[in-house]
Amino acid sequence: MIQNQDLSFFKDKLCERLGELAEFAETGDIAAKPVELDQTRVGRLSRMDAMQSQAMSIEAKRRREMEVTRINSALSRIAEGSFGVCLECDNPIPTARLKLDPSTLLCIQCAGFLEQ
């Protein structure tokens, strides 16, 4: 079972990451705006480059949203006392794994099994 001081560490780390993601979201939303199709202002290659940047920004936004969901889920598990327990097998997730990614849902064995 994870100690209270460790829970504080993980909660702080998760909240810090939420703040970072919020900062990235502000700049990413600007880059994801629709590309202007006015050929008199922007050449075809520049427009294609802008459209590629837009697609990359949209994908980055989707990944940020998924990470925010995982972080909020981890914070909920901390609050309800089930943090650090694998959702698949109910075994404890090693602290070293949680230090790498506190929002992880699975132990190493279950994560490996799902990847196969």
**20-48 per-position pLDDT tens digit:** 988 887 776 555 555 555 555 556 667 77
In order of start, what are the domains of the chain with their CATH numbers? 4-115 (1.20.120.910)
Question: Is the alpha carbon torsion for 95, 99, 102, 106 positive or negative?
Answer: negative
Q: How confident is the model at residue 102 (pLDDT cuts 50, 70, 90)?
A: very high
Q: 36 or 66, which is more confident?
A: 66
Q: Which of 85, 68, 78 is nearest to 1 (CA)?
A: 85
Q: Mean pLDDT over residues 47-76, rounded?
A: 89
What pLDDT is stored for residue 58 in this prediction? Answer: 86
Residue whose tokens read 């050929």: 39
What pLDDT is stored for residue 41 in this prediction? Answer: 55
CA separation for the pair 12, 28 (Å, rounded)? 24
Q: What is the mean pLDDT of the chain?
A: 84
